[in-house]
Each structure stands twice: as C-alpha cells, then as structure tokens.
Amino acid sequence: MSAHGRRLRLGFVMDPLPAINIDKDTTFVFLLEAQSRGHEIFYLAPRDLALLRSTPQAGFRPLTVRRKSGDHFTLGEPRREDLTWFDAVFLRKDPPFDLDFFFDTHIASMIDQRRTLVINDPRGLREANEKLYALHFPEVIPDSLVTSSVARLKEFLVELGGDMIVKPLDGCGGSGVFHLHRADRNVNAILESITTNNLRPVMAQRYIPEVRTGDKRIILIDGKPRGAILRVPSAEETRSNLHVGGSAVACEMTVRDHEICDRIAPKLRQDGLVFVGIDVIGDYLTEINVTSPTGLQEITQLYGTRLEVEMIDWVERAAAGLDRKGAQPVAR
C-alpha cells in the first residue's frame, strides 16, 4: 500500500508484453514495484488511446506481473474509461519516436494533469528529441552539427581534424551510428546514405576517444542523478549500447557528471521530464533519453540499488497532491 495511504490506478502505455525482456526491461520493474505496494496496474497498448470529442480515453486491461520467464504476465478483461480514471499514466513505448507515438502524445496532452499524472509529460516528449534536446546545453556537449548537406558534413569532418560521429535524428540503441575518418573511401557513400542524398538531416559530433573506456548512462529522477552505469563497447564496436554487445560495469559519478546534471535539471523539470537517462562520454553530454530510458536492472545488479522504488515513491508523493474529486473509487 502507498506510504500516503491510497491505492493508485497506474496505466502503462508500453510495447507488447510478450516481447519484453524481464531481466532488462525498466518498465517491468516499475510494474513489479507498483504491484508489490498494492496499486492496481493496467496495460495500455499504444494504439488503444483515443479522443471522444475532447476527452482522452483508452482501452486497457488489468495486469498482473511476476518474474517468471515465459510466464511473466496475466491480463484481465478489457475495458474502456476516460484517462482521468487513472491516478497516473506512464508513457513508456520504446523508441524510435514514430508518428504513432507522436499522435499518442497529442492525445495524452488532453489529460487534465491536475487530476492525473502523465510520466513523462507528453509535451516534453514531443520537445525532447533524444539527439537534438542536448543542443539546449552547448557548454556541456561536444562540437555538433545538424544538417542534411553532405558537403557541409564533409567540411565539418575536416574542421574536427578528420574524425567524427554521425547519427540519424530518429535512431535509437546505436542504430545508424557511424564513426567516420577523413581517409576512409566510404565517407561519401555513408553520408549520402544516412542523409538520403541531402534530404534527411543528421547529427554529426566530434569523436570523443574516451568512448573506448565507456559511455556512462546516468539515471535522473525529477532532475536528480540517482544512479549510473558505464557501458563499455566490445573490441570490434564503436557503439557501447548493451544490446549490440556493450558490457555494463560499475562506475563513480565525477564532479563533471554532477555539473552536467545540475545544468540540465531546471529544463527537465520545466518540460515535465521526470524519468530521464542521459549519456555522458568523457566530459561531454551526448544524448538525453526521455522516451523509455533503460538501465535500472543493470544498476540493481551492480550496486543493489533499486531505483524503481524511488520512482514509485515519487509517483505516490505527486499523486497525493492530485484533485481526484469525482474519480470513481478503486475497487477493494
């Protein structure tokens, strides 16, 4: 039961349950923790959101979860309610941020957040492209260029000394990331491909050699750093993402890491981005992940720290301040 004495209804907009990896998925441990406290949890498929006139609604199913591989969930009978029936709605669809999710954020924006929490805020999710959002903080990011021009990208490569990273603006998990060298004969072909022949903007950044020792994922809850892991690339990879062979190892947060977190925290709070994962290489912020950040289970394995406890604590505190007048009581 909630420390604030109220059983909550928590809806989770997320990808199909059969496909999740229960040993890696962050949403899964949110579900387990909320369920363990006696809260009601519900599964909402991304395409189940709707608007009736100006009222946001959803089809959903009650959910029970357990840490049992191959038998990790049970769904109850489907029903439909206005989204303000929930105390909180988690928008946790995995990237990439596509048009379906874009429209879901518009529907979720119609929720009266005086009555129902939405995590993360749908307006913030639309604003915070996970590559571009970091450009709000030029003093803590590497030299960066966003353009669709192959010629300009080649000029930038020379300006950086012949070494740079290029990545698509809608990529995730390291997909489409290239480490370019000026002497590589494939530079033209790679840039033409990634920009679709000067039609599609991409991000180019200075290559940071410290990536060989690891890319640090830092989890922030309400703007505060709560845990970190170092993702170390394999010998044959530039990318350190765990699902392409990177390894998670324990690490300490540096003074510079805290400076970066302090710099970005006010805007994260302003944009309603409560649960965030940032990527730091060396002394530089490279990405701000807001759609469905991961890393909690690795943090638990390395340190024993269960950040899902802190996240559900935050939800309970925030829900205590909601105006739930007129909401149907939770069944006991």
Catalytic positions are: 131, 167, 217, 231, 239, 279, 287, 289
Tokens 């006010």 locate to 266
How many CB atoms are located within 10 Å of the residue 172 CB?
18
Structure tokens, 82: 């206005």
d(CA 179, CA 187): 10
Dump strand ranges (E) for 106-176. Answer: 117-119, 144-147, 163-168
d(CA 283, CA 256): 6
Query: Which residues 6+ apart lie within 8 Å of 232 measured at CB?
Result: 213, 214, 215, 240, 246, 247, 248, 249
Structure tokens, 278: 């940032």
Contact present, 231 and 240 (Cβ < 8 Å): yes
What is the identity of the amino acid at 325? K
CA nearest to 104, candidates 8, 11, 40, 202:
11
d(CA 209, CA 193): 25
